[in-house]
A and B are shown apart, each in its own frame.
Chain A
């Protein structure tokens, strides 16, 4: 197989050349892919690693005595170590592979949730994605926990005073996003966790957007649980991550039962394995994990300092250019926000905007972005959202703004 080439240190042209999907035309126009927040495009390095995993080293993991099985296991466990490194977790035993963020949150809601009782409180925020709302509602329906909602300010910041007020000795868990997929808001997670711990509560952090845009250190944050998904981090679909402190994970009952998550099985008695195996029932996402590992290598080779600098420029340029459009309002104006820009335009419904933008080659998302309560809070039914990845350019922002102006004219 081909040598896996290292990506150049931030050379935008070289980076774009790594992503085959970006060079296509859509409706006869160059594609401006501004929907990475929904899912990111994949670099050749990830595609090649996965292809190699299928062509050369494939076998089931953990149980074989033959060469391919050992090789496959090595690569799978290497991906786990790479994930540990990405998050600066203390041990690779603290990295559980799941299908995606949603499954990771459901795992915690079921497994850790089994410790919660009627009257125990769980705090989520007004800006959460449905994946970090619904599992807790289901836990409420199952066990009678009380769901408390930390509000969001008009700028889209977490109202920290209100959050602090919600914490009390009944609070057992706080589940909040590290970066909003609608507003781009980066929440003050270290402080959120500090306050939660003072109140005796654990914290689950939804890092689906955060890990894409900045370096995350779960030990520095002192996060109890941290979740993210591979497909937003330039990796494949079908692989997500739950980080949990080792003692915490080992105290928790399993989620799914089956092979690989056990130490021994008899009809009288089954003993469960330790974390992470305890939470990885059945044949895992072997090829996908390898893909995630390659994606982590890719972003780390570029470095988050370079990525952050590039995306900060895109965010600022996008804000500046969009605000030059009369009747356009940006939804989410926190002082500290990632390159995720939701907006509404007077007289132009997001769907109509999205359709016209699409015809100009610009891919954005229109709708409620799986955050209906947040839409309601911000006083809108839907927004258009431009969400940036490390491969986007100022030229694409120009293309976006031109298309928005064209849409405004057309919709009159």
Chain B
């Protein structure tokens, strides 16, 4: 049961049940819809920019505990970051979830926080839940209009 306890550790359950930054930004500078249709996990991510700094990030939607926690943690970590740093955070988290080498220079503190989701690696069929909102972030950063999915 250790791997289950690691997956559903306190931070994950907390963010899963009480996600932060819930809602939509009026007139967002970037927006993306991340939708795993087969699953039922669905989040709209909206970003407000101040120059090239993300001044606000919100998520609106619903999903399982893993996808919700991941989306919530993501909004907390990207607020106040530059677009470039946010993009690097996405790449690093995505690599971490796939158990690949992580390039975390300058974002060590944030990646340490995201270790809370590290347990997902033991549950391959839940990786798509953890990465959903992050792929939404990637789409938003790149200005992609279409709905994205991690299924």
A residues touching B (Cβ–Cβ < 8 Å)? Answer: 347, 349-352, 355-356, 359, 367-368, 375, 381-382, 410-412
Flag if B66 contacts A412 (CB, 8 Å). Answer: no
Query: With a CB–CB cut-off of 8 A, which chain B residues contact A368?
Result: 38, 40
Which one of A355, A382, A411 lies within 8 Å of B40 (CB-CB)? Answer: A382
Interface size class of B (residues with CB under 8 A): 20 to 34
Which one of A356, A367, A375 lies within 8 Å of B4 (CB-CB)? Answer: A356
Query: With a CB–CB cut-off of 8 A, which chain B residues contact A351?
Result: 39, 41, 64, 66, 126, 129
Closest to A412 in B: B13
Contact A352-B64, Cβ < 8 Å, known A347-B17, A359-B3, A410-B4: yes
Q: Which of A347, A375, A411 has the most CB of B within 10 A?
A: A411
Which one of B8, B38, B66 lies within 8 Å of A410 (CB-CB)? Answer: B8
Flag if A352 contacts B1 (CB, 8 Å). Answer: no
Query: With a CB–CB cut-off of 8 A, which chain B residues contact A411?
Result: 8, 13, 16-17, 65
> Can you spell out 15 A-B residue pairs with CB atoms less than 8 angstroms apart?
A347-B17, A350-B40, A351-B39, A351-B64, A351-B66, A352-B66, A356-B8, A367-B38, A375-B40, A381-B40, A381-B62, A411-B8, A411-B16, A411-B17, A411-B65
CA distance A83 to B25 in the complex (A): 60
Interface majority SS (helix, strand, loop, mixed), chain A: helix
Query: With a CB–CB cut-off of 8 A, which chain B residues contact A350?
Result: 40, 64
Closest CB pairs A-B (n = 9): A381-B40, A349-B64, A351-B64, A382-B40, A352-B65, A359-B4, A352-B64, A410-B8, A412-B13
Which one of A349, A359, A375, A412 lies within 8 Å of B63 (CB-CB)? Answer: A349
Query: With a CB–CB cut-off of 8 A, which chain A residues contact B40?
Result: 350, 367-368, 375, 381-382
CA distance A382 to B39 in the complex (A): 8
